Every structure is written in structure tokens, then in C-alpha cells.
Structure 1
Amino acid sequence: MSIYSRIAGTGSYLPEQRLSNQDLVERLAKIGLETSDEWIVTRSGISARHFAAENQLTSDLAVKAAQAALEAAGCTSEDLDLIILATSTPDHLGGFPSTACVVQDKLGAHTNCAAFDVQAVCAGFTYALAIADAFIRTDTYKKVLVLGAETFSRILDFQDRTTSVLFGDGAGAVVLEASSEPGILATALHADGSQRDILCVPGRAKQGGVEGTAYLTMDGPAVFKLAVKVLEQVAHEALEKANLKPEQIDWLVPHQANIRIMESTARKMGMSMDNVIVTVHEHGNTSAASIPLALDVGVRSGQIQRGQHLLLEGVGGGFAWGAAVIKY
């Protein structure tokens, strides 16, 4: 009998500190940087975002999302065989110990539960989901916690209004479990390292310090152009693998980076924006957390129902991109 993976539960968490565009405008004005709510909304569709408290780590956000997903799935951390956490903002410099291992400890998961991080920036959740699906299909693990969690506010240069207004913090999670019925129908992953410089944190650790900048840098127009192109391509690739057509997709759950990219993708797929889960206006770009955050919002709002077909897709620095077709 074939083994498949299905989503048993979803969860998410946003830090308490919510900053509207006007809050951010006032904060930036204090350091001599001018911007406006209109400027931000027009270019990105973002009206607000959440920032982690000073003492909140990426793992803390991930644990909250994980607990919600475990509850929704009707299981506990002791039932988990594997934890995969997608993040670009790990708890520790150098990325070790992995934030997934920290989450394992904070959740109280047993030591037979493996744990590791995945780094594919905004495409990280699609990468992590594909990896988890492969482990379950090969009967290596039966219950996997897949997370996307970020504290991007820690790597933003607030002297740069082209990036500092776009990103936020948050976490999303799903519990995948083995099933006799298909859930994850198809995945597609790609990368192009030659485009690594258009969105990156270029600094390098050097003898206890940082060589270069530890802030995020981005060539906005180049990122926009590439994102629109590859998202359409990978969406069609995943749909073809799943033997589905765009009109059979009930909900598009895209990476929440920019409303114009999302509108372009929906238009090219022949989909109405009424069938797109949109959270960018309230969350900003939460990188690897954005897809599971949007998925959980769709599920808990009642928009996404069992039996519906979903298309998840994301693109980010690396350059990396991916998509997944799911029967929820």
C-alpha cells in the first residue's frame, strides 16, 4: 500500500508588538528617514507588521506556532518523529545549534525525534514541506512538524526605507502525518545561485566580528522581475506533476512579499484574487513564515476547507523557489 502525507493541523503565531505604517513612519522620522503610509501601501500592499520583543527569539515564535498546530492535529510533541524548521534568522550566530533543536527542547519532544533547520529564505517552507513529504512517503517518519519562523526585524537597516518597511516577524507550522490518502500531491523546487546578490545579507563572520554588513540588502526591481517569472513557471510545473489544471485549484497560498507579485501570479494563472489567501497587508513579508502563516489564517477563518486543492508557492534569496500542490 502506498504511503502519502497529509496536513493534520496548522498553527501560527505573531508577536504582540504590531506596528502600523504610521507607527513605522514616526519611528523612522526620528532618525531622519522620510516615508509615508501611501508610499508603503502603493509599492507593497503592506499596512502593518509585527516585531518580536527584545527578549523573544525565533525559537520562541516557532514554539507558539507549533503548539497551535499540534493542538489542531490532536497530538502532542511526544508523537513527533521529526522537526524541520525553515529560517534565515536562527537563534544562534552561525546557525548552530539549529533552531529546530532548540524548539525540540522547548516543546519537550523526545530525543528520538530528529530535528534540523532548512535555509532557503522565503522559499524555505516549500523546501521543508517537500523534504518532510519525502521522509513520510519512504516510511522513514510518520509524524513531522514543519515550521517557518523568522525575526527579520533583527537584520533590517532602518536607514534604508526600501527594505525596512517590508518585513515582519512571525511563525507558522503544520503537522504532517502518514496517510493512505494523498495529501501532498506534488512539489517542485529550484534554485539559481548566480542571482544570489540581488537579495542577501552579505556580511561574513570574521574572528568574532562581521566583515561587511549584517543587514539585509535587496535590488527590488531585479527581485520583482525574477519572482514574477519563476513563480508562474514553478506553479505550472507543480500542477502538471499533480495532474491538475489551474481552474481546479480552490486557493492560491503564496509567499506574502508584495501584493503586486501576488496579483501578477494570480492573473497569469487565470485565478481571481478572491481565491488568493492574502495576509501581506497585516503581516508584511515574514520570509519562511509567510506561507504557513497565510495557510493557518485561511484554515482558521473557514476559507480553506477539507477536500479543497491548494497551491503553495514561494521565492526568495539564493535565489531559491518552490511550489506544492496539496489536497487539504
Structure 2
Amino acid sequence: MSRLYQILAVVWGGASALVIHHHHHHQHGRRRSTVRATAEAVKAEVRVERSKRAALCASPIGIGSCAPESIVSNDDLAEMVDTSDEWIAQRTGISSRRVLAHDETLAKIAATAAARALENADVDPSTVDLVIVATSSPDDLFGDATAVAAAIGARNAVAFDITAACSGFLFALVTGSQFLHSGAYETAVVVGADALSRWVDWDDRGTCILFGDGAGAVVLANSGAPDLLGYELKSNGLDRQHLQLPYAGDERPIRRMSVSTGGYAPITMNGREVYKFATREVPSVIKAALSNAGIGPQDVDWLLLHQANIRIMETVADRLGLPFDKVLTNLAEHGNTSAGSIPLALDAAVKSGQVKPGDVIACAGFGAGLSWGAAIIRWNGPAISP
């Protein structure tokens, strides 16, 4: 029985005894006291539960990534829509992005990223217990995780997808870490991958300039070390209209859906509202995750944000009191790769020697849903020789 149920059983059991053995005049006063005591006990239990969002025994021990070969530059986009390299770079920090070719699949780049992460961690794929793929744009509506697991040779792993838009990798990282911390599994591969080039309106300069395709993966192991130091996850469906990719067509699409008529509208975004949301909520959720970890911004070696917009990253760093040279970014080369952005940027930082074993990294994702969250990790991968 959980502590919360034990508390309730004792308190309400005591209340029942009071009803039987005391005069009616005293029952109400006693029961009010009991209710107050119960409320305080529940509040205390909630505080205990909050503290559990810390110190998960899951260590990130390997990293890998993969991006399509095809590059679309800002100048290329200027030939398609009314924009320019200067206009895009100043407002977003993006210079180019990678886009899947017609003969490339999301599952393939996700599997390549996962295989590279396993190689980096020196882990045999057959020993992997769990594969989680965070994506909003799978090749198969039913998900790509099983295809990825098969492709990398993780024949003994359970595999499933998580859909949480640009927060997807962060949510998947915490989910995988919980499985390891519980003792259910020992080794997991967590992949973030998206191909939003499939879903943007290439005539809309407000969105087509932002998104790119890519995948990144992290290998997690339960090594007994609590290397996920703390986390905090949030969502708010009341504001989901600010960033959506809704199903287009009949109000009841399932009734008349067919392969030939089914489809989705392009991504729609209220950039001003998304900016306000990100700069308001992301610093707050990072501070909450740091608090759960028992540390502060001064203890962070690196800040790794979802690679959405340079202005958002600058504002978040400023509100945390961190210099921008502590921010890990590859936004200029890849654009916004949704669930792929955090592991893509981390891979580049690890492989360049920027991130070293033992470094503390504050990671945060945010995006459609609306969803957002942060996780504080200690990097435990192999040292990279210069």
C-alpha cells in the first residue's frame, strides 16, 4: 500500500472510531480536525511525490545522430517565397536545414542515429531491452519504433513511439529513465526524429523557413548512478491552437476516411504566442527541474534547449542568468528538427569535445500540445579524443 493510502486509511479509520465512541456534539469538531489533519497529510505526501522527480538511476552512455544529405539554404528558400537569407538569419538564427529526399525514410535516419549511439556506447544491440522513438511524423501512422528496433538488431527489445511534438525527445528520455530506474529494464535506446518538411506549407514563409529533418539517439543504462538528476514535465491543451497540424476534411473524418481522401492540413503557428509561451514557461520549468535535482543554474555546465529560434534561446539563457556561451546549439545548420533537435545538438557537442564526461546539462523541450519540460542530466558517455 502506498504511503498516501496508508495515511488515508489511518486518518479515516480514526474518524470512524470517533463517530462510534464520542457524543454527537463532539463528532463535528473532531471530524473537522481530522479533515484538517488529512489535508495536511496529503499535502506532505504531494511534497514527497514531487521529490521523486529526481535522482533516477539512468545514465546516458552513448549518443548518435543522422541528418539527410539534401541541404536547403536560405537562398534556396528565397527563390520559392518572399524572403532572404538576411531576413531569416536575423529573425531565427537559421542558415540552412536538411530535408529528406523522396527515397529516404524517417525510420532509416532514426535507425542510423540509434546504431551510431550504440556504437558510441559500445553496446550490443541484442542486449537492448527498450526502444522508444519520439516523433510526430512517422513513416507509418502506427509508429516507427518497431521498424527502428528491427533495423538496429534489437531483437529482444520492446519498442513503442511517443508523440509530444518538439518536447518528444525530452518526454521519451524521462519515460525511458523511469523504466530503467524501476528495475524493469537495464538498457534503453531513446530516439528523437522528425521530418516536418513533409508537413509544412512551402508557400508560407512564416513556417517553411523554420523546419528541417533529422534524428538523434541516446543510449541509457541502469548503471546504479542517478545521472538523471531531476526533471519536470508540463502540458496545456487550452492553448494548443497556437501550434497545430490538424486533420483536414470532414468534421467526423473517421466516418468517411479512405486512403485516397485522408490528409492533414499544413502546420499552422502563431509565432508571437509561441514565443511568449516559450520565454515564459521554459525558464520556469528548468528552474523547477533544477530544484528537484537540488542544484541551481550556477551548477550547470551546459544549457541544451530545443533548437527552435535563436531569440528564444537567448531570452531563456538570460532569464536563467547563464551566459550564451554555455548554450549548446546547431540551429544555424539544421533549423528546427522538432523531436530530433536536442539529441542532434548534443551529438555535435559531444563529438566535438565540447561536452565531456561528468558535465551537467540542463535540457528543455517545448512545442505543440502545448507541451514543455526539462531534465537535468549528467553526461556519462565515453571521452572523445581530440
Q: TM-score range by the shorter chain?
A: over 0.9
- 1:3 is displaced (CA, Å) by 7.2
Which residue matches 1:215? 266
Which residue matches 1:40? 88
Residue 63 of structure 2, aligned match among 5, 10, 15: 10
Residue 258 of structure 1, aligned match among 300, 306, 309: 309
Gaps of 5+ in 2: 1-54, 380-386
In 1, are the aligned partners of 2:56 and 2:229 still within 8 Å (CA)? no
- 1:212 is displaced (CA, Å) by 7.5
Map 1:6-85 onto structure 2 (within 5 A): 6-26=59-79, 28=80, 33-85=81-133
In 2, are the aligned partners of 1:124 and 1:288 still within 8 Å (CA)? yes
Which residue matches 1:247? 298
Which residue matches 1:268? 319
Residue 86 of structure 1, aligned match among 128, 134, 141: 134
Partner Cα separation in structure 1 for residue 56 and residue 194 of structure 2: 32
In 2, are the aligned partners of 1:48 and 1:284 still within 8 Å (CA)? yes
Which residue matches 1:103? 148
Partner Cα separation in structure 2 for residue 210 and residue 148 of structure 1: 29
Partner Cα separation in structure 1 for residue 261 and residue 329 of structure 2: 37
In 2, are the aligned partners of 1:203 and 1:210 still within 8 Å (CA)? no
- 1:238 is displaced (CA, Å) by 0.3
Which residue matches 2:283? 232
Residue 155 of structure 1, aligned match among 199, 219, 230: 199
Partner Cα separation in structure 2 for residue 164 and residue 203 of structure 1: 19
Partner Cα separation in structure 2 for residue 45 and residue 296 of structure 1: 20
Which residue matches 1:309? 360
Please tell me whether residue 196 in structure 1 is matched to residue 266 in structure 2.
no
Partner Cα separation in structure 2 for residue 212 and residue 88 of structure 1: 15
DSSP-derived class of the 1:180 partner: coil
Which residue matches 1:323? 374
Partner Cα separation in structure 2 for residue 59 and residue 290 of structure 1: 16
Distance 1:210 1:46, change over 3 A: farther
Distance 1:310 1:3, change over 3 A: closer
Please tell me whether residue 282 in structure 1 is matched to residue 333 in structure 2.
yes
Partner Cα separation in structure 2 for residue 220 and residue 22 of structure 1: 22
Please tell me whether residue 118 in structure 1 is matched to residue 167 in structure 2.
no
- 1:214 is displaced (CA, Å) by 2.5
Distance 1:3 1:287, change over 3 A: closer
In 1, are the aligned partners of 2:56 and 2:178 still within 8 Å (CA)? no
Partner Cα separation in structure 2 for residue 181 and residue 172 of structure 1: 23
Gaps of 5+ in 1: none
Q: What letter corresponds to residue 223 of structure 1 in structure 2?
A: V
Count of residues paired in the alignment: 318
Residue 179 of structure 2, aligned match among 128, 135, 139: 135
Partner Cα separation in structure 1 for residue 162 and residue 169 of structure 2: 8
Q: What letter corresponds to residue 45 of structure 1 in structure 2?
A: G
Partner Cα separation in structure 1 for residue 56 and residue 136 of structure 2: 31
- 1:211 is displaced (CA, Å) by 6.7
Q: What letter corresponds to residue 237 of structure 2 in structure 1?
A: G
- 1:56 is displaced (CA, Å) by 1.1
TM-score (norm 2): 0.80
Residues 220-271 of structure 1: per-residue CA shift (max 9 Å, x gap): 1011100111101100000000011101100001100000000000000110
Partner Cα separation in structure 2 for residue 213 and residue 290 of structure 1: 23
- 1:210 is displaced (CA, Å) by 5.3
DSSP-derived class of the 2:58 partner: strand
DSSP-derived class of the 1:181 partner: coil
- 1:327 is displaced (CA, Å) by 1.1
Q: Could you list the structure 1 runs, at least 4 aligned residues long, displaced by more than 3 angstroms after superposition.
A: 209-213
Question: Which structure: greater helix fraction?
Answer: 2
TM-score (norm 1): 0.94
Residues 61-87 of structure 1: per-residue CA shift (max 9 Å, x gap): 101101110000001221110000000
Distance 1:317 1:210, change over 3 A: farther
Which residue matches 2:211? 167
Structure possessing the higher radius of gyration over alpha carbons: 2
Partner Cα separation in structure 2 for residue 104 and residue 67 of structure 1: 10
Partner Cα separation in structure 2 for residue 219 and residue 76 of structure 1: 45
In 2, are the aligned partners of 1:3 and 1:139 still within 8 Å (CA)? no
Question: RMSD between aligned alpha carbons?
Answer: 1.3
In 1, are the aligned partners of 2:110 and 2:148 still within 8 Å (CA)? yes
Partner Cα separation in structure 1 for residue 154 and residue 261 of structure 2: 35
Partner Cα separation in structure 2 for residue 187 and residue 86 of structure 1: 18
In 2, are the aligned partners of 1:3 and 1:180 still within 8 Å (CA)? no
In 2, are the aligned partners of 1:3 and 1:179 still within 8 Å (CA)? no
Tell which has more relative contact order, 1 or 2 (C-alpha 8 A, sep 6+): 1
